[in-house]
């Protein structure tokens, strides 16, 4: 099963894509992905129910979040109200160590994204302040990152033994599915996604 693990809809301040249009695009362009995760900036969208769209287009549509930490941006999968009570998702200065600790405690998982980008990615911060224990996965392929930024992510993963995911970081419809993550088995919900990620048995793929 292939999922684009990093996409934004109009629920994000800089997102310009409607979820329905992502679905239409995937099907019309016959993209080789089975679904995507909406990782809205600094929030978790409890309100929207995408199941009717998922059924209509036979796609897996899951929800996560992209939070901002002292080591750059981080995708969070398996978000619950309890996790949001423990972490202020709206803050732009969350300590990464705390995000890792709280996600672990609340059956979620944190994945630093676009690590090769300056400031918003963890590479430069690691160079300055060293690694943060607890990171197991980073985003290896990001649809919005430049070649050298993805290369920096690969180097970071190699040096630290991190596993890697892929995500398009789409903000407009036509950017969905540029990068994704291939899982050996089915993923059918947020809990199942967390489990699949924790198994570390997956592979980042790109069509950039």
Partner 1 sequence: MSEKSFSDVEFGEDLPTFEPDTSLANVTKFAMAAKMFNNRFTDHEAARKQGLPGAIVPGIMSQAILVAMVHRWASNATLEKIDTIFRAPVLVDMPHAVSGVVTDMDEEEQRIEIDLTLENAEGETRVLGTATVRLS
Partner 2 sequence: MEIDELKKDWLNLDFDEDEFEVEADQIVDFATASGETTPRFVDPSDPDFQAPPTFVTRFHNRLLLPEEFPRIGLPLDAGKAVFHKRPIRPGSKLVGRSHLHDIYEKTGRSGRMIFLVSRMELYDEGVLASIVDSRMVIREVPTE
Residues in the site for partner 1, rule: CB under 8 A?
Answer: 14, 16-18, 21, 24-25, 28-29, 144, 146, 171-175
Q: How far is the CB of 71 from partner 2 (least distance, A)?
A: 11
The single residue among 4, 34, 45, 68 that binds partner 2, judged by CB under 8 A, is 68
Name the binder of 167 from partner 1, partner 2, none, CB < 5-8 A by kind.
none
Q: Which of 8, 41, 175, 178 binds partner 2 (CB under 8 A)?
A: 41
Residue 80 or residue 206: which is nearer to partner 1 going by CB?
206
Q: How far apart are CA 92 and CA 47, in angstroms?
A: 23
Q: How many residues does the chain have?
A: 208
Shorter beta-carbon distance to partner 1: residue 160 or 174: 174
Determine how many CB atoms are found less than 10 A away from the CB of residue 81.
10
Size of the site for partner 2 (CB under 8 A): 11
Q: H or E element: which one contains 110?
A: strand 109-112
Binding of partner 2 by 175 (CB under 8 A): no
Structure tokens that stand for 23 in this block: 């679905």
Q: Which does 92 bind (CB under 5 to 8 A by kind): partner 2, partner 1, none?
A: partner 2
Query: Under 8 Å CB-to-CB from 88, ≥6 apart: which residues?
Result: 94
Q: Is 177 left (phi over 0), alpha (psi -120 to 50) or beta?
A: left
């Amino acid at each position: 099963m292939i999922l684009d693990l990093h996409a934004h809809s109009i629920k994000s301040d800089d997102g310009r894509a409607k979820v329905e249009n992502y679905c239409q695009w995937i099907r019309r362009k016959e993209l080789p992905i089975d679904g995507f995760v909406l990782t809205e900036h600094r929030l978790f969208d409890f309100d929207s129910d995408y199941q009717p769209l998922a059924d209509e287009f036979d796609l897996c549509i899951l929800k996560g979040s992209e939070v901002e930490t002292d080591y750059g941006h981080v995708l969070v999968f398996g978000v619950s109200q309890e996790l949001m009570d423990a972490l202020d998702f709206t803050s732009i200065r969350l300590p990464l160590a705390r995000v890792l600790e709280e996600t672990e405690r609340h059956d979620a998982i944190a994945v630093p994204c676009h690590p090769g980008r300056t400031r918003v990615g963890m590479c430069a911060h690691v160079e300055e302040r060293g690694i943060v224990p607890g990171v197991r996965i980073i985003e290896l392929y990001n649809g919005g990152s430049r070649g050298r930024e993805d290369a920096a992510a690969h180097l970071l993963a190699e040096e630290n033994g991190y596993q890697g995911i892929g995500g398009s970081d789409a903000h407009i419809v036509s950017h969905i599915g540029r990068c994704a993550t291939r899982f050996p088995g089915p993923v059918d919900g947020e809990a199942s996604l967390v489990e699949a990620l924790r198994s570390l048995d997956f592979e980042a793929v790109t069509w950039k």
